[in-house]
Structures are given as C-alpha cells and as structure tokens.
A = this chain, B = another copy of it.
Amino acid sequence: MKVINLLVGGPTAEWPEALKKGQIKGPWIGADRGNLRLIKLGINPTVAIGDFDSMSTDELKVVKQHVKDVRTFPARKDFTDTELLLMCAIRDYDPQIIRIYGATGGRIDHFLSNLFMVLEPRFRKYAERVKLIDDKNSIGFYLPGKHLIHKEPDKKYLAFVPLGGMHVSLSHVEYPLDHHWIGFPRSYSSNEFIGDYAKFSFDQNIMCVIQSKD
C-alpha cells in the first residue's frame, strides 16, 4: 500500500504520540511551519508547500537545506493549505492512503475545512483514501456502497457521521441500524464494535467514520 503523510498547521498538542516522537515514516509533505517541525524531528519532508510568510529568513533557509522540493504559493490563494497538499499528493504520488496530521485542534474553522474537504467535487473520488489522524481520533470517509472496516486496536468508540442525507444500515456494532433514513449531517456517537470489524452500507453522499478513545 502506497502511503503518504501530510502535516498541516494544527497545534502539536493534538498530534499522536508516535508523531511527537518522530516515529512515523515518510514520505511526508509539509505545510508552512510544519516543515520546520518535521525537520526538528529528524524527518526531511519530500515536498514543502506554503506561503512561508510567517517564517524568518533563517527558518526558511533551514527548510531549503533539508527539503529538495519547496513550492511557494501566495498567502491569499483559492485553496486551503490542506487542499494544496492533497492536490500535490494525488497528482505527484497517487497514493492509496493519505494520512493527514495536524488537521484538528485549535481553530475550528480550519478543522471543518479539513473535515468537509472530501465533499468538494474535485476531491470526492479520493475520499476513501483520506484519513485525518490525531491523538484521540482516526477519521475516515466512505462513498456510497457496502463497507467492512476493522477496529483499530487502541480505539474504543465508533461513530458514524453522515455528511448529508442518506439511508444507512449498520451491523456488527453495539447499536445497529437497518435502512435508517438520515436527512441531515449528524454524529451518531459512542457506538462500538462487537468484534474485530463492523459493516455498514448507505446509498448517497459521504459517510465519515470516526474511531476514537477518551
């Protein structure tokens, strides 16, 4: 499985422990100051993307010493940082799995941009490749159809979050549903796996699935 990791600008407090310790292998694409953070962890990003406006000349020099491919965009642009990184990842690497770190915490408007990004027509078909990951949550996205997902060993809770109207069936979970109509975005929290996997199906829009722990 070809995996790529993206680091965007959320607070480091929300990073998973493995990332704080620099233990997550690349390739990495970093946004703005995220590149400095990765370099300090001993990770040289494959690509660094950003406006780099908030960095000092010395800091930018460090990034350029450690990253061969630095791409500068204007601060006032039509895409969020996460969208720029995702476009780069898809076009240049065509990965099967795109793990996005730094997408949660701090500013809620930024988190919601990241959460709703896969609803954009240009990203929709890649939705199932995208995972937003922090220290307590792993957030995946699914297109209409039947799905089987596996329990992550360190997570306890399972939430189904329809991002638009849909008929939903859930099975192999604590609180199953059968062709249940949901008319608007809603978070069905605190469901749980009853074994190693769960099954679900739905007919339209995008389903966000969150595995989490306290």
A residues near B (Cβ < 8 Å) are: 13, 80, 104-110, 112-113, 115-116, 119-120, 134, 136-137, 139, 157, 159, 161, 163-164, 184-187, 189-190, 210, 212-214
Contacts and interface: CB of A to CB of B under 8 A. Distances in A.
A113 to B, nearest CB: 4
Contacts of A164: 164, 184-185
A110 B13 contact: no
Find the residue from A108, A186, A214 having the highest chain B CB count within 10 A: A108
Contact of A212 (B13, B107, B120): B107
19 contacts: A104-B108, A106-B136, A107-B136, A107-B189, A107-B210, A107-B214, A108-B137, A108-B210, A108-B212, A109-B157, A109-B187, A109-B189, A112-B161, A112-B185, A113-B187, A116-B187, A119-B186, A164-B184, A185-B185
- How many protomers of this protein does the assembly include? 2
A180 to B, nearest CB: 14
Given A108-B136, A164-B185, 15 more contacts: A107-B213, A108-B134, A109-B137, A109-B157, A109-B212, A110-B187, A112-B159, A112-B161, A112-B189, A112-B210, A119-B184, A119-B185, A119-B186, A120-B186, A163-B185
Given A187-B113, A187-B116, A139 B108 contact: yes
Given A13-B13, A119-B184, A164-B184, A113 B214 contact: no
A119 B80 CA distance: 26
Contacts of A109: 137, 157, 159, 161, 187, 189-190, 210, 212
Contacts of A210: 107-109, 112
Contact of A107 (B105, B157, B186): B157
